[in-house]
Amino acid sequence: MKDYIRNRVLEIADYILSSGATVRDAAQRFNVSKSTVHKDVTERLFQINPAQARRLAEILEKNKAERHLRGGLATRRKYRPASL
């Protein structure tokens, strides 16, 4: 694995672990695609640091379980009348 990829994987993992950020948030922060972030934290991180990858998997599962709530809130904000 190239050094710049390894460094990116570790930086993204640290960011998600410290902030509880979603894959989308991390992708925006590091200016990469969601697919890249997902591959970094689900595949590449296991090669580099399996213990950290397991901790990160718990956060990703939590975010996945909550995503339908975040989507509902976004829709609610979008269609809420301006007077409320």
Cβ atoms within 10 Å of 22's Cβ, excluding its own:
20
The pLDDT score that the predictor gives to residue 83 is 62
Per-residue pLDDT of the chain in tens (84 residues, 90 and over written 9): 899 999 999 999 999 999 999 999 999 999 999 999 999 999 999 999 999 999 999 999 998 888 777 777 778 788 887 765
Query: What's the pLDDT tens digit per position in 53-66?
Result: 999 999 999 988 88
Task: Return the structure tokens found at 74.
Answer: 């976004």
With contact defined as beta carbons under 8 Å apart, do 30 and 11 qualify? yes
Cβ atoms within 10 Å of 61's Cβ, excluding its own:
10
Nearest CA among 33, 40, 39 for reference residue 11 = 40
- pTM attached to this predicted model: 0.78
Q: What's phi and psi for 21, nearest 5 deg?
A: -65, 155
